[in-house]
Chains A and B, each alone.
Chain A
Amino acid sequence: QVQLQESGPGLVKPSGTLSLTCAVSGGSISSSNWWSWVRQPPGKGLEWIGEIYHSGSTNYNPSLKSRVTISVDKSKNQFSLKLSSVTAADTAVYYCARMYEIVVVAATRYYYYYMDVWGKGTTVTVSS
């Protein structure tokens, strides 16, 4: 079964760039799924950051779009997150997740998406 593992520096300086990688095992990143990043500040709720398809197509949270880049490396079966100009507000646990797609065919096609596989998460602290 598919497993995800986040990796990257746990400490980033203010105004710097946060860089994380999510390794996909037990399946191919080229399968028909989107691959997402979600974060959770200490004691707070979940915030979707963005997602990528193996083709390289991306969608980003509008509130973070100017600072986020998500990329995919099919040869390494992994995808990555870069978040620039970080501040203390970007301190969080960062999760990668698979956004699974199912199609229900009735009178028309309905596409449902849900995050069914998650990494364990990695804590990133922004501090000097």
Chain B
Amino acid sequence: DIQMTQSPSSLSASVGDRVTITCRASQSISSYLNWYQQKPGKAPKLLIYAASSLQSGVPSRFSGSGSGTDFTLTISSLQPEDFATYYCQQSYSNLSWTFGQGTKVEIK
């Protein structure tokens, strides 16, 4: 299995802050990396696919970058509705799609 490791596990930030979340794969996955946002009691929502492509309807303050083993999700100016848990997911190997453990973004 390809292991996905996110950092940090949680962070505290204020509205307007620039936030960066990192995801590292245990082997190269090219750009086969997706990002999801999950709010409490809700299903995950796709934000970014193919490492850097913004899903339709997702605000442009969200962006993704990276290739190979290291990836980042950036929120350029944190909004109140962005407080949530974020997951990366590799789509390189369908022998087993795997998620990172999640990063919880909390209000400072």
Contacts and interface: CB of A to CB of B under 8 A. Distances in A.
B34 interface: yes
Contacts of A48: 89, 96-99
Contacts of A34: 94
The number of chain A residues touching the other chain, given as a range, is: 20 to 34
B43 A114 contact: no
Interface residues of B, number: 25
Given A112-B49, A119-B43, A47 B99 contact: yes
A118 B43 contact: yes
Interface in A38-95: 38, 45-48, 51, 59, 61-62, 95
Contacts of A36: 97
Nearest to A120: B43
Given A45-B87, A119-B43, A114 B99 contact: no
A96 to B, nearest CB: 10
A46 B96 contact: no
Nearest to B87: A46
A61 B55 CA distance: 26
B91 interface: yes
Contacts of B98: 48
The interface residues of chain B, by DSSP majority, are classed as loop
Contacts of B89: 46, 48, 114-115
B75 to A, nearest CB: 19
Interface string A88-109: 0000000101000010100000
A112 B91 contact: yes
Given A47-B99, A114-B46, 8 more contacts: A36-B97, A45-B87, A46-B36, A97-B43, A102-B49, A112-B32, A115-B34, A120-B42
Interface of A: 34, 36, 38, 45-48, 51, 59, 61-62, 95, 97, 102, 104, 112-116, 118-121
14 contacts: A36-B97, A46-B36, A46-B38, A48-B89, A51-B94, A61-B96, A112-B32, A112-B91, A113-B94, A113-B97, A114-B49, A118-B45, A120-B42, A120-B43
Interface of B: 1, 32, 34, 36, 38, 42-46, 49-50, 55, 87, 89, 91, 94-102
